[in-house]
Structure formats: C-alpha cells, structure tokens
C-alpha cells in the first residue's frame, strides 16, 4: 500500500489554506458566423442558421464555418428559423449550482429544453414555465423575445424563453 493510502486520510490537525478570488476579464469576439446570429436577433428579432451546401442541414447552435458532419466549408447560405415548435425533451434543476459566468448560485432557473422547431430543427433553449408539473413533452411553445432594443444584443439570449401556447 502506498503512502497515499486511506490510512493517511486528512483529519486531525487544522490545515492552512490560502484563498483568493481570481478576477479575469475577457472580450470574446462573436466572429462572422455567430455575429450574424447576434445582428439578426438584435436588429430584426430573427433567429437564423447557416445551411450546409452538401447535407443541407441547418446548424443552429452555434453556427460554424465548417459543416461538422460533411467537414466542408459552410459557405454563407442563411435560413430563418421558425420560432414555434414542440417540447421534445426538458429537464429541470433541483439543486442550485454555480453559474461560472456570473459567479453566483443559480436557484430554480427556467427549465432547459430541447425544442423541435416546426421546420424539424432541434433548438436548445429555456422554458418560461417553471412549474414542472405543468410541463409535458410534445407541448406547443413559442419564442418570447426581449422587446427592448437596448436590452437585446445577447444573441440567443435575446429570446428570453419559450412560452407554452394553445393552438
């Protein structure tokens, strides 16, 4: 048995720990492809995705300069996504976890879901309904936009969540 064996488990003496925060600031560039999504969302309240010239698949989240499956240049063929669909799968968080971007604990955020848009594309976003008893797979949902132009500019986050609709 090595010295790292359980017989040497940390207990007993009080150990000295050095704690400090690590502030780091970043300026991420959206680039051309994601930038197109940001611009269309902010300016026109539209969600767009590039279409692969070979497989014709729409790569919604996030868009890329290369088709992941065909491995060819994506080109610049953009298609607007319909923002109604059905809940394909959802989950919800019970135990609050750290938000790495804000440094605060999340509690009961909107349930993350996979939404099957009406054009057959899967789209990951949040659901408005936080009462999980009211959620069912297959429910119809529609995107709710941030209406304030000044508050938009957060890309996919310009859609606040998807709201349950009756049809």
With CB under 8 A as the contact rule, the residue among 56, 76, 89, 163 that binds another protein is 89
Could you give the CA distance from residue 62 to residue 59 in angstroms, rounded to a whole number?
7
Of 44, 123, 132, nearest to 92 (Cα)? Answer: 132
Q: Is 99 in the site for another protein (CB under 8 A)?
A: yes
Q: Is 22 in the site for another protein (CB under 8 A)?
A: yes
Q: Is 138 in the site for another protein (CB under 8 A)?
A: no
- As measured in angstroms, the least distance from the Cβ of 43 to another protein is 17
Cβ–Cβ under 8 Å, residues 47 and 80: yes
Q: Is 78 in the site for another protein (CB under 8 A)?
A: no
> Contact region for another protein (CB under 8 A) — 19-27, 42-50, 79-87, 142-150?
19-27
> Contact region for another protein (CB under 8 A) — 44-52, 69-77, 79-87, 140-148?
69-77
Q: Is 112 in the site for another protein (CB under 8 A)?
A: yes
Could you give the CA distance from residue 135 to residue 112 in angstroms, rounded to a whole number?
12
- Per the listing, tokens 């099957």 go with 116
Could you give the CA distance from residue 53 to residue 74 in angstroms, rounded to a whole number?
6
The encoded tokens of residue 157 equal 């986050």
Of 46, 50, 80, 48, nearest to 65 (Cα)? Answer: 50
Query: Contact positions toward another protein, by CB under 8 A?
Result: 1-6, 8-10, 13, 15, 17-18, 20, 22-34, 57, 61-62, 64-69, 71-73, 88-89, 91-95, 97-101, 106, 109, 112, 114, 122-126, 132, 155-157
């Amino acid at each position: 048995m090595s010295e790292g064996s359980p017989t040497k488990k940390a207990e007993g003496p009080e150990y000295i720990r050095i704690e400090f925060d690590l502030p780091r600031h970043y300026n991420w560039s959206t680039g051309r492809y994601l930038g197109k999504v940001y611009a269309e969302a902010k300016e026109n309240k539209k969600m767009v995705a590039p279409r692969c010239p070979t497989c014709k698949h729409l790569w919604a989240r996030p868009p890329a300069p290369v088709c992941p499956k065909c491995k060819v240049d994506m080109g610049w063929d953009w298609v607007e996504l319909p923002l109604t669909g059905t809940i394909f799968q959802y989950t919800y968080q019970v135990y609050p976890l750290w938000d790495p971007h804000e440094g605060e604990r999340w509690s009961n955020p909107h349930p993350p879901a996979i939404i099957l848009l009406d054009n057959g594309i899967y789209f990951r976003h949040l659901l408005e309904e936080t009462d999980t008893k009211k959620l069912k797979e297959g429910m119809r949902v529609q995107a709710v936009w941030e209406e304030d132009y000044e508050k938009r500019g957060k890309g996919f986050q310009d859609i606040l969540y998807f709201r349950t609709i009756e049809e």
